[in-house]
């Protein structure tokens, strides 16, 4: 009988440890998502540019493709992929602030959403090259 109790106690301890680990992981992911949304919104609203974290991988890929002698069509394809990625990302940030409303008041929220939407529309009109920093020194 005592072995059953000990085994049940060990099993319960393992289950509680796993629940705690999953809980911490989920809290970290949520915090990271919120931080990323705030950081991106701040950068977009203040710098009027695509956040570095979004564009850096594409800038690197395009620079590397150029070094390898990619054609203009191949570069344009990469650039258009970048634009689509940026549009999805800013749409996600807009949706986050529209849905979650993590702002101090409704006026701030409306201003932020308007600013983000205007920037999204501006990026849609731009050529892909204007959204990236493709100078030799990068970012």
* H or E segment and range at residue 18: helix 2-47
Counted residue by residue, the chain has a size of: 139
pLDDT tens digits for range 19-62: 999 999 999 998 998 899 999 999 999 999 999 999 999 999 99
Mean pLDDT, rounded, of the chain: 91
What span, in angstroms and rounded, lies between the C-alpha atoms of 95 and 103? 13
The answer on pLDDT for 1 being more than 90 is no
Q: Any idea what DSSP says for residue 69?
A: T
Task: Check residue 139 and give its pLDDT.
Answer: 47
* C-alpha distances out from residue 3 to 9, 17, 62, Å: 10, 21, 63
């Amino acid at each position: 009988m005592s072995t059953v109790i000990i085994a049940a106690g060990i099993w319960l301890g393992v289950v509680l440890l796993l629940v705690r680990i999953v809980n911490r992981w989920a809290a970290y992911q949520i915090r990271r998502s919120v931080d990323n949304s705030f950081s991106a919104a701040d950068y977009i609203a203040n710098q009027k540019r695509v956040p570095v974290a979004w564009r850096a991988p594409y800038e690197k890929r395009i620079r590397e493709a150029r070094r390898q002698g990619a054609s203009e069509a191949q570069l344009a394809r990469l650039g258009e992929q970048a634009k689509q990625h940026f549009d999805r990302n800013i749409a996600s940030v807009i949706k986050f602030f529209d849905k979650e409303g993590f702002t101090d008041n409704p006026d701030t929220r409306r201003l932020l959403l308007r600013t983000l939407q205007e920037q999204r529309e501006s990026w849609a009109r731009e050529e892909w090259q204007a959204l990236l920093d493709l100078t030799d020194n990068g970012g």
